[in-house]
């Protein structure tokens, strides 16, 4: 398992991140919401790893971000521009820029 974990909402978000990622990182999909039991398991499993939260810039994304912030206070929060609203709709270049600013390696040719 990689030392870096990126939490996203859905499979399309996961595919978008994978399309620009140029290092080994685990990408976890919450499928929009996450139950308390599953969240507790996730928190335990990710203890000591570099966790990044990249969710949509909408109400459901912000609700999930708040929940994850409470349970994983050391996670780093990454934000797409609100104009794109969803990670899957953001241009690959923008997603790459967001990841790169967090010192995550991205492909140079997009």
Fold of the domain built from segment(s) 4-101? Dna Topoisomerase Vi A Subunit; Chain: A, domain 2 (3.40.1360)
Residue 1, pLDDT > 60, answer: no
pTM equals 0.93
Maximum alpha-carbon separation in the chain: 40
Task: Please tell me which residue, 72 or 31, carries the higher pLDDT value.
Answer: 72
Domain spans of the chain, in order of start: 4-101
Higher local confidence (pLDDT), 39 or 2:
39
Structure tokens belonging to residue 54: 């990249």
5-32 in b/e burial notation, b at 16+ Cβ within 10 A? bbbbbbeebbebbeebbeeebebeebee
CA 94 distance to own-chain centroid:
14
Q: Which two tokens stand for residue 26?
A: 């685990």
Question: Token pair for residue 13?
Answer: 């978000």
State pLDDT tens for residues 59-98: 999 999 999 999 999 999 999 999 999 999 999 999 999 9
| pLDDT beyond 80 at 32 | no
> Among 69, 67, 97, 105, which residue's Cα sits nearest to residue 81?
97
The pLDDT mean for the chain works out to 92
Judged against a pLDDT cut of 80, whether residue 109 lies above it is answered with no
Residues 8-20 have pLDDT tens digits of 999 999 999 999 9
Tokens of 96: 């790459």
The pLDDT assigned to 110 comes to 52
The tokens 């990841």 sit on which residue? 99
């Amino acid at each position: 398992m990689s030392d870096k974990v990126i939490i996203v909402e859905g499979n399309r978000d996961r595919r978008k991140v994978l399309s620009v990622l140029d290092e080994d990182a685990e990408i976890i999909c919450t499928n929009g919401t996450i139950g308390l039991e599953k969240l507790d398991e996730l928190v335990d499993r990710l203890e000591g790893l570099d966790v990044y939260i990249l969710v949509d810039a909408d109400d459901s994304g912000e609700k999930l971000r708040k929940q994850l912030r409470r349970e994983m206070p050391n996670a780093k929060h990454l934000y797409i521009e609100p104009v794109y609203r969803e990670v899957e709709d953001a241009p690959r270049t923008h997603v790459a820029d967001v990841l790169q600013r967090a010192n995550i390696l991205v492909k140079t040719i997009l």
